[in-house]
A and B are shown apart, each in its own frame.
Chain A
Amino acid sequence: MSFDINNFVLDECKRVFSRNADTGTMNFLVSQIEDPSIQCDSEEIVKNDAKGTPLAKWSQGKTATFSASNSLLDFNLMSWQFNGEDKTIATSGATVNAPAIEEKTLTSSDLLEIVLANSVVNSGTVSTPVYKITVSTLTRDGACKQVFTQGASAAAGVFTYTAATKKLTFNSGDLAVGDKLFVAYEYSTENAVVLYNSADKFASSSEIWVEIKGHDICSTGTVYAGYVVFPNATLSANTTVSLGKEDSFPFEFSAAQDYCSDNKELFRIVVPQPAA
């Protein structure tokens, strides 16, 4: 007898993953799914009589949109949401600029010179280097106290930067023992991950699988794995990246029909027979 079930109890939406529809190469995979749902809509056309009473109805323009949240900030998912590409992983051959913030409570040996942990990125040219460095002292509650600017020579409120030694030099009397110094800059590194949200890049379509798990109504020990397959889905770039401790990260994708399929499906739900 062929395998046939009509209903089962849904336990969880286990994971969602996207792959290249042609090659099968993985784009992203998220497994901390919250509040998954598929919204199915269609446009209804109604023919009324002279009194406005419906005579006939037709449906057209079917759509399906999957939405959920991931409990964790997933860089692969976000990168495909924003730019339709993999996140950028820096390498020795392709370094990236990473921000650095150094905070230091000054001792008597720090009043004239501070050595930074990293070399500041040169945002100018080789012949005219420009090192963008933000320097200020902080109040006890962490607010900005005195702002310093960079110059050719150290003076009151002016510091110099020596790239060869990564050294900031201050004027005598500008800094005092116990001051908290704040320094912000960018440095080049081969050990960083970057996630871009570019104004001119968007998600492209991919095949997305939603894996669900459930069990038989009569037998809790009989577990079913089901798959909702969207052959031609496009992630939406509309999302809210909430940065609270307890927040999760919403994502949604809309299905377009698989035009070359006989079934013209927006999605299909497949439940195979569990392995014996």
Chain B
Amino acid sequence: MSNSLNATCWVCGKKYNHCFKCKDLAGYRAVADTPECYQICSIIREYREGIIKATEAKQKFENIGITLNCSFSNILPEVVRDIRMIIGLGTEKTDIKTEKIKENKK
């Protein structure tokens, strides 16, 4: 296997080496250079595919330490845009739900 930088991380944009035939070994490297980047990519994909809702995605982002207050310095701008959008949607839905529960209690 050559050591050429033949892949680009979908999340941070860094170049890295990956053998696309060795999918059983470290499969996450098909799209991301590190497990951390892969987790972000995976959450975005699951949300886009409808596997999880925005609230669940927001929670998953929080679990890996990503909130709206993060610096996002190592992440591609378009990925940051989608993360912010998903967290925003998750937050809105949570707030509406909480308010509805409060209203019902009154």
Contact = CB atoms under 8 A, between A and B. Distances in A.
Given A162-B49, A164-B49, A153 B27 contact: no
A130 B30 contact: yes
B54 interface: no
A128 B31 contact: yes
B31 A130 contact: yes
Interface in A157-175: 158, 160, 162-164, 171
A151 interface: yes
Interface in B76-95: 76-79, 81-82
B76 A155 contact: yes
Interface residues of B, number: 25
Interface in B17-71: 20, 23-24, 27-28, 30-31, 38, 40-42, 44-45, 48-50
A152 B79 contact: yes
A127 interface: yes
Contacts of B82: 152-153
Contacts of A23: none
B81 A153 contact: yes
A195 B23 CA distance: 26
A154 interface: yes
State the majority secondary structure of interface residues on B: helix
B57 to A, nearest CB: 13
A124 B30 contact: yes
A128 B76 CA distance: 20
A139 interface: no
Interface in A112-159: 123-125, 127-130, 149-155, 158
Contacts of A158: 78
Contact of B27 (A125, A152, A154, A155): A125
A124 B24 CA distance: 9
B76 A163 contact: no
Given A123-B23, A153-B76, A164 B50 contact: yes
Given A124-B30, A128-B27, A130-B23, A153 B78 contact: yes
Contacts of B28: 128
A179 B76 CA distance: 27
A127 B32 CA distance: 13
B50 to A, nearest CB: 5
B79 to A, nearest CB: 5
Contacts of A162: 48-49
Contacts of A153: 44, 76, 78-79, 81-82
Contacts of B31: 128, 130, 152
B16 interface: no
A154 B23 contact: no
Contacts of A149: 8
Contacts of A130: 20, 23, 30-31
Given A128-B30, A128-B31, A155 B49 contact: no
Interface of A: 123-125, 127-130, 149-155, 158, 160, 162-164, 171
29 contacts: A125-B24, A128-B23, A128-B30, A128-B42, A129-B45, A130-B20, A130-B30, A130-B31, A149-B8, A151-B10, A151-B79, A152-B11, A152-B31, A152-B40, A152-B41, A152-B76, A153-B44, A153-B76, A153-B78, A153-B79, A153-B81, A154-B78, A155-B78, A158-B78, A160-B48, A163-B49, A164-B49, A164-B50, A171-B78
Q: Which 3 A-B pairs have the closest CB atoms?
A: A155-B78, A128-B27, A152-B10
